[in-house]
A and B are shown apart, each in its own frame.
Chain A
Amino acid sequence: MLSVVTRDIGEVDGSTPTLSNEDLLQHVATGDRRAFAELYDRTAPRVFGLVKRLLRDHAQSEEVTQEIFLEIWQSATRYDTSKGSAIAWMLTMTHRRTVDRVRASQASRDRDTRIGIRDYVAADDSVADNVEVRIESERVKEAMMRLTELQRQAVQLAYFGGFSHSEVAAMLSVPIGTVKTRLRDGMIRLRDELGVAS
């Protein structure tokens, strides 16, 4: 399904991998545990960073990261390079599984009421600088600033906060239908700004 993102995670820590992440994943699919360890070393900080961004709780983040890497191990046999890069496949799985945990977790409901609105909405004027929504990539940060305020808030709450559309609607005091429209329009705008195309 994913076809565009081809950034090699190996570049992040300056290592010079001889095998691509996609190659490694195909080795993993044959039960190669050394390849899995290498893939883990390259990608775990990305996965853990995103999980922790969503869950905040350290212990839960470790658990979910373990679940995700077990799923990567189990389902590497179903990874298809024609459907996109390894990191896209892994981060898509990471977001989905972590949001599953957010929804399932009682702690998350406490989190929503305690810190959700404060961190995500009140600080919106300086969204890009807010440590809670810290965005590393200048490119993504700039693209974000091209969205309307409501689009940006909705996308950030959904992706970085793991909130459902009804929660986003409640937090922004707009109807759910409006949130859906803003999420779609916002993502289309981001796609165009980031030059993501099939």
Chain B
Amino acid sequence: MTPKPSKDLGVNAGAYVLNALSAEESAQFESFLAESEETRAEITELADTAVELGLSVPPIDPPASLRASILDAIATTPQLEPLPAAAEPAEGAQAIAAAPLATAPVVHLAEERARRGWYSRPLTTLVAAAAAAALLFGGGVAVTAVIKGQQMSATASSITQIQAASDFQRRTVDVSTGGQATVIWSVSLQRSALLGTDLAAPPSGKTYELWYIGKNGPTPAGTFDPTGSTTMSVMLTGKMAQGDTIGVTIEPVGGSQKPTTKPIAVITTA
């Protein structure tokens, strides 16, 4: 969409409350709202009108399993700090930053040593996730806070989707070159993400490469460079199959088609 002068933005009020604007237009409209009290008043009323539309949709009882799953999930999900009294409405970023990071301690859960031939034979050493891991990345918002500034919001929302999956799982291992790697995954979504803490920058001319390792050996799942930040996250590319092991190696920049070095982290998901 071509940006329009702000005086024309009032026409977007209906589309805004119906969530029919693009993300950029919504952001632009919200800036406009800050300046226009008249449009703010209109938006309040139209948003209430949209709620009436929502209330006109026939209710459907969700399955009991969903209730159980949600009540389980909140037990380990931290709540946001209340907004400061003087807070302005349009401060989503700060609000997210205020998430209780204190609940995300760095925990060493297991030792997982890299071995030659790691991807060609079954891994027998399962890494047990300690109960405390539930707190590590317990809630979508906490994850968003952890990775804030490291990745695009698309990653954050993909991670939230994985977390919300009914078969969401996570596992954390030490990385042999330093730091820890937590993999979160959902077999039903066929997706996984790696959350890194205190990972070392790769040597010059090298990059980290991710692998899905299944029956047919390793498949490249993207590269990443944890440069200069204590936390980062990356979605693995491609589709995860049930039982896949996830590996990380250091490869020449651009990545390799097959691993050329010993893995620095191996995470089993079976």
Residues of B within 8 A of A124 (CB): none
By the criterion CB–CB under 8 Å, are B54 and A163 in contact?
Answer: no
With a cutoff of 8 Å between Cβ atoms, the chain B residues found around residue A190 in the complex are: 49, 52-53
Q: Evaluate whether A37 and B77 lie within 8 angstroms (CB atoms) in the complex, with A63-B166, A78-B83, A183-B15 already known.
A: no
Instruction: Report B-chain residues with C-beta under 8 Å of the C-beta of A74.
Output: 77-80, 139-141
Residues of B within 8 A of A62 (CB): 62-63, 66, 166
- Chain B binding surface SS class: helix
Contact B79 A49 (CB under 8 A): no
The reply to whether B11 and A184 form a contact with Cβ atoms under 8 Å apart is yes
- A147-198 contacts to B, CB under 8 A, are 155, 158-160, 162-166, 168, 176-177, 179-188, 190-191, 194, 196-198
Complex contact A59–B188 (CB within 8 A) = yes
- CB of B212 to closest CB in A, whole Å: 20
Contact between chains at B60 and A179 (CB < 8 Å): no
Interface band, chain B:
35 or more
With both chains docked as a complex, state the minimum distance between the C-beta of A149 and any C-beta of chain B, in angstroms.
16
Are A4 and B45 also in contact (CB < 8 A) when A136-B56, A160-B57 are? yes
Task: Given A3-B48, A33-B75, A63-B165, verify A136-B15 contact (CB < 8 Å).
Answer: no
Q: Is B117 an interface residue (CB 8 A)?
A: no
B164 x A1 contact (CB < 8 A): no
Complex CA–CA separation, A34 to B81 (angstroms): 20
| B44 part of interface (Cβ distance < 8 Å) | yes
Report the Cα distance A69→B67, complex, angstroms: 10
The 3 A-B pairs of least Cβ separation, nearest first, read A184-B14, A183-B14, A45-B59
| Interface residue ranges, B against A (CB under 8 Å) | 1, 10-15, 17-22, 41-63, 66-67, 69-71, 73-75, 77-83, 89, 95, 139-141, 157, 160-161, 164-166, 188
Q: Told that A135-B56, A179-B15 touch, could you supply 18 new A-B pairs with CB distance under 8 A?
A: A2-B47, A4-B48, A5-B51, A37-B67, A44-B62, A45-B60, A49-B60, A63-B161, A88-B47, A91-B54, A101-B161, A164-B21, A165-B15, A166-B22, A183-B18, A185-B14, A187-B13, A197-B45
Q: What are 26 of the A-B contact pairs (CB < 8 Å)?
A: A1-B47, A1-B89, A2-B44, A5-B52, A31-B79, A33-B75, A64-B164, A65-B62, A67-B164, A70-B139, A76-B79, A77-B80, A91-B54, A91-B55, A95-B50, A96-B19, A136-B57, A140-B53, A140-B55, A184-B12, A185-B14, A187-B17, A190-B49, A190-B52, A191-B45, A197-B45
